[in-house]
Structure 1
């Protein structure tokens, strides 16, 4: 899951090492296979791995395999794709990003989030989100728990934010600091191979993490984190409506639409099964993605947190995925970012109007 034009923090086996940063949308098809691709996933590298039109779906991950992808691996393992008459090839994340790869036809479907599409489409892309698992925000803004001088986001003022300068993240952090009574001024540092390591080295003071993955890792293995939820500090809407994205141009072919509908419906079955059987689904993820070297304990704890706190369903303990975007929450967040001046057009100018969630999403393939 990424923000618009992303650079990324260093990937550690089994998942992200910090809240993914944004990178400028580009047109170049520069695909580099990740070593973290699961051996069990039928995948190739580059355009040669693209699925056959009307028969298969090639799906590109946004990062190394983690619990956000568990429904895909579960649907594969449980035979749901085969039953739906679609063959799925899981592709490794590309250096160019899933969005650019989908836009350029390297992959049929990719994993991303709605706010990414807002930034990409503002600069000339034509992407649509077709399936969503993010019903509640999962991003957290954290310092090490050992930093007793940081008690509220106000204390981020004058500190160093471990990031890559994303306009979206900058807007969020500034708003949090100001609402806590600060000025919204901070420095930036680039993360090394691990955001945790960058913080513990003293090269940075706070960073973004995902509560369902890095948050679980910190709880299990440390270092302990002290985190803030952006909605508690004046940032409206849900920035983490994550799921499947496609190119509108690709959707023009009826055979693609038919294959996509079968893929989305089977994937939803996979996610629903995972919610109902969290421990078994976590084990499937670990088994199906051996090269990612996912910690089984972290995978199980992550699935437990996802179910217990209702991150995919909006209801704690629920086991049926809506699969749809909350349009009100989406537009509220896009409007916030527009007011902050985060979006640019293809010439580097500010947009006159906020990206519209209704133009970025379709529920046609979920229902």
Structure 2
């Protein structure tokens, strides 16, 4: 069985996977308060710009570049102060839209879902270049060999339309009926599976799968893109409010912030153990397992989840072709709805949702 720290880490990261996907069902309520909120832009007493960044969930290796940049002085070198905020109950997307934070960790598909309902978000930095989500059953379930065997089984989820579309497509592609029931997870998808209340759920290869290998029980997982789901469903990165970034001073600070964060991620790829230790040391309240953090960084580095041509450098760019293929798939599945709760009439366009203009530290 997993120890308390292992259970906690499984719970936080697994819950995040489904909370992020649930944006399509919650954005209307979460955006209701935006009109009363302003911008979080500020300067310190010496005039240095301050950028506030909101996490999407408990600190983990997806955020390691931020903590490295903070610890090693990369943000200071760039001429900015950075405040890293724990996630709010409403989520990073709504906090950015409301002006509670300048930048937030999210996914491109979440930006699409929120903007379909009236938000003004822009995806400005894409960390993950390869799919990281996995759809898993316990390895002890010998009756589940391919996604076809998920037909008629119980999916542990929060009822997200996006996740349901992915699972249905995987099952049908493998020759199954595409039908399944759902069970709402409490705090921990993994515990729900081990209790027998569910048959399969969503995990991350760079975190839960690593933890499963360290502590057991083993998981048997499938990658959505291997089973008929087009594009990259897992473009995780940073988003800002588009209107906020139109201000020249904000845009300049954003460029400096992203450039310094990239330095942090690049350092992590070149020094995975040191970066993992920085993450653990800089986030004591998260009580992260140092062995898990190190193994997670090893998995990220060896699996090239953040990189393209250079295995030691994070490009931060969005693969628009991969992004559009996935957005079109979700649109065809009826996932995106407008502020009235009606199905969106047109597919979200990755080229409009995402930009690489802030990846340079200067305007050049």
Q: CA deviation at 1:51?
A: 5.2
Mapped contact 2:14–2:202 kept (Cα < 8 A): no
User: TM-score with structure 2 length normalisation?
Assistant: 0.90
Secondary structure, counterpart of 1:249 in structure 2: helix
Aligned to 1:354: 347
Aligned equivalents of 1:270 and 1:131: distance in 2?
Answer: 14
Aligned to 1:103: 97
Aligned equivalents of 2:66 and 2:288: distance in 1?
Answer: 16
Mapped contact 1:28–1:96 kept (Cα < 8 A): no
Aligned to 2:272: 278
Aligned to 2:8: 12
Mapped contact 1:157–1:184 kept (Cα < 8 A): yes
Residue 119, structure 1, aligned to residue 113, structure 2: yes
Aligned to 1:227: 221
Secondary structure, counterpart of 1:128 in structure 2: strand
Q: CA deviation at 1:13?
A: 4.3
Aligned equivalents of 1:121 and 1:17: distance in 2?
Answer: 25
Runs of 5+ consecutive residues of structure 2 not aligned to the other structure: 1-6
Moved >4 Å (runs of 4+): 47-51
Mapped contact 2:136–2:221 kept (Cα < 8 A): yes
Aligned to 2:194: 200
Q: CA deviation at 1:252?
A: 2.3
Mapped contact 2:39–2:98 kept (Cα < 8 A): no
Q: CA deviation at 1:49?
A: 11
Aligned to 2:324: 331
In the alignment, which of 75, 93, 96 is matched to residue 69 of structure 2? 75
Aligned to 1:33: none
User: TM-score with structure 1 length normalisation?
Assistant: 0.89
Aligned to 2:83: 89
In the alignment, which of 17, 36, 42 is matched to residue 52 of structure 1? 42
Aligned in 2, Cα 1:51/1:253: closer, same or farther, shift over 3 Å? closer
Residue 27, structure 1, aligned to residue 31, structure 2: yes
Residue 288, structure 1, aligned to residue 285, structure 2: no
In the alignment, which of 45, 50, 59 is matched to residue 65 of structure 1? 59
Aligned equivalents of 2:14 and 2:333: distance in 1?
Answer: 27
Residue 149, structure 1, aligned to residue 143, structure 2: yes
Mapped contact 1:67–1:303 kept (Cα < 8 A): yes
Secondary structure, counterpart of 2:135 in structure 1: strand
Aligned residues: 340
Aligned equivalents of 1:112 and 1:185: distance in 2?
Answer: 29
Q: Which has the higher helix share?
A: 2
Residue 177, structure 1, aligned to residue 171, structure 2: yes
Aligned equivalents of 2:135 and 2:198: distance in 1?
Answer: 13
Please give the residue correspondences for 1:155-174 in structure 2 after superposition, counting only pairs within 5 Å. 155-174=149-168
In the alignment, which of 163, 181, 190 is matched to residue 187 of structure 1? 181
Aligned equivalents of 1:271 and 1:48: distance in 2?
Answer: 31
Aligned to 2:210: 216
Aligned equivalents of 1:234 and 1:175: distance in 2?
Answer: 6
Mapped contact 2:18–2:160 kept (Cα < 8 A): no
- Cα distance per residue 1:79-135 (max 9 Å; x no partner): 000010100000000110000000000001000010100100000001001111110
Q: CA deviation at 1:20?
A: 2.5
Secondary structure, counterpart of 1:12 in structure 2: helix
Mapped contact 2:18–2:158 kept (Cα < 8 A): no
Aligned equivalents of 1:238 and 1:297: distance in 2?
Answer: 29
Q: CA deviation at 1:239?
A: 1.1
Alignment RMSD (CA, Å): 1.8
Aligned in 2, Cα 1:362/1:73: closer, same or farther, shift over 3 Å? same
Secondary structure, counterpart of 1:207 in structure 2: strand
